[in-house]
Structure formats: C-alpha cells, structure tokens
Amino acid sequence: MKYRIDISLRAGVKDIASEAILKTANGNEELGNGKLQSLSMGKYFIIECDDNFPINTLCEKLLANTVIERYEIKTIIKG
C-alpha cells in the first residue's frame, strides 16, 4: 500500500507561523501587497507499507500531535 498523510492544525489552534508569513507577505510590494486573504501551513508524508500495516496507529502515536493537529489518510496505491 502507498499512502499520503496530510497533517494540519485543528480548527481553533493559533497558527503563529502562518500569521507571520501572511503579515510579512502582505506588507511587501513584491510578495502580496495586501492582496493575500489567508494562508495556512501543514505537512505531509508519503508512506509505502504492507497491506496490514496499522497506518492509523502510526499517525496517532508518531506523525501527528493529535491534541493540536488533525490528519487525513489518502490511499495512493492499493496493495
């Protein structure tokens, strides 16, 4: 199996890094000049594993901080 795991902050969690990028870009004539409305960051992993690998457990215990982050598992290739 091959998966893509997308990880992002949960709704309501302050995204300080994205806010700083948005503010900087909108204050720069070449980068945004006040035209960017929103911006958010996240991360993703591409994982290849056996068909019976516990991918949910990997996400919950290692890849995502489930207190502040959510994750979404997308199957890329079925085994």
pLDDT band at 78 (very low <50, low <70, confident <90, very high): confident
Q: How far apart are CA 10 and CA 45, in angstroms?
A: 18
Sheet holding 69-77, edge to edge: 42-48, 2-9, 69-77
Q: Is the pLDDT assigned to residue 79 strictly greater than 80?
A: no
- Per-residue pLDDT for 14 more than 80? yes
Supply the pTM of this predicted model. Answer: 0.85
Give the pLDDT confidence of 31-50 residue by residue, as tens digits.
989 999 999 999 999 999 99
Is the pLDDT at 12 greater than 80? The verdict is: yes
Q: What is the CATH number of domain 2-77?
A: 3.30.1280.10
Alpha carbons 57 and 64: distance in angstroms, whole number: 10
What percent of the chain clears pLDDT 90, i.e. is strictly above it?
Answer: 95
What does the domain layout of the chain look like in residue ranges? 2-77
State mean pLDDT over 53-75: 98
